[in-house]
Amino acid sequence: MRYSRIVATGHYLPERVLTNDELERMVETSDAWIRARTGIRQRHIAAPTESVAGMGERASRMALETAGLAAEDIDLIVMGTTTPDQVFPNSAVIMQERLGVAGIPAFSLEAACSGFIYALAVADNFIRAGSAGRVLVVGAEKMSSIVDWNDRSTCVLFGDGAGAVILEHTQTPGILDTRLHADGRYKDLLQFPSGIASSKARIAEDALQMKGSEVFRVAVAKLGEEIVETLARHDLDGNAVDWLVPHQANARIISAIARRLDLPMERVVLTVGEHGNTSSASVPLALDLAIRDGRIQRGDLLLLEAFGGGFTWGSALVRY
């Protein structure tokens, strides 16, 4: 049998940190409101010249260096992003050129905040099918470029960054399971409404729109079902999980999910306070942080999950 396993991870966060105090001077909000409703204290914001492909490249180079590999050792790149630098070439191809590995397949996919989980599932399936041996999986986002900085209900939530994971074929399972879902009936609750082929011609003025409290309710319900079902497929429950590595949208959503699993918050990787919601980048950023600081150890059972616009959602059960 062919399986995939995580060899190494990497991350990149832009230098500029935007604090809640600074946001108080930009919109009618308060540090106390943001912390109480979301758990966010600060977020990183990319410089105007920083690109999604460039942030992805920085995270990928860190993962390659950690693994002791060269970019030439990779045979597929899959990137999750909702904020591509260009419509085409896709951001994974732009990143491939920056990494200097012409010829290997590279594509990005769009699943809002679930982008990394979708990309991980695709990469895992390529490896299981024997179509790839070593895959670079990236989540990279410049959310600051699609939020309305005058809309206090959304601009306080998001941040920029990138995370990368190298997957490699193995005979003993690392990625034990991936599950993906989407339900387009919820498309109006969380969206960036214009696009290249859209009948609307207001692209430059458009921004992310969200019905926050409705998103919150559906996210808790869908993710709660998702993780319980994922574990049940393997005759497991929350007790077996060493680390929950959730999408970092809101600390209250995360603690509701942990409660559903009876998992103490000490076994949850929480980065939303420092990173905000970095969409596709949030899960690989959190994963890399907890591996680097030694919390996640080889052999640990990890449950990764994400929920985003669409709605899209999914999870991955991983033996690290």
Interface residue list for ligand ACO (CB under 6 A): 29, 33-34, 37-38, 112-113, 152-153, 156, 190, 212-213, 215-216, 219, 249-250, 253, 277, 279, 307-309
Of 11, 44, 247, 275, catalytic:
247
312-319 vs 301-308, strand pairing mode: antiparallel
277 flagged as catalytic: yes
Nearest residue to the partner ligand ACO, using Cβ: 212
Smallest distance, Å, CB 45 to ligand ACO?
16
Cβ burial of 293 (10 Å; 0-12, 13-18, 19+) is exposed
Nearer to ligand ACO, 219 or 291 (CB): 219
Please, are residues 301 and 315 in contact by the beta-carbon 8 Å criterion?
no
Distances (CA, A) of 232 to 155, 181, 238: 37, 17, 10
Smallest distance, Å, CB 252 to ligand ACO?
7
Smallest distance, Å, CB 160 to ligand ACO?
13
Helix (H, G, I), strand (E, B) or coil at 76: strand
Tokens of 179: 């599950």
Please, are residues 138 and 78 in contact by the beta-carbon 8 Å criterion?
yes
Nearer to ligand ACO, 107 or 216 (CB): 216
113 flagged as catalytic: yes
Of 11, 20, 113, 275, catalytic:
113
11 flagged as catalytic: no
- H-type alpha helices, the chain: 20-24, 31-38, 52-67, 91-99, 115-128, 152-155, 212-232, 251-260, 272-275, 282-292
Nearer to ligand ACO, 281 or 291 (CB): 281
Nearer to ligand ACO, 110 or 168 (CB): 110
* Dist CA 105 CA 127 (whole Å): 14
Q: Give the residue numbers marked as catalytic.
A: 113, 247, 277
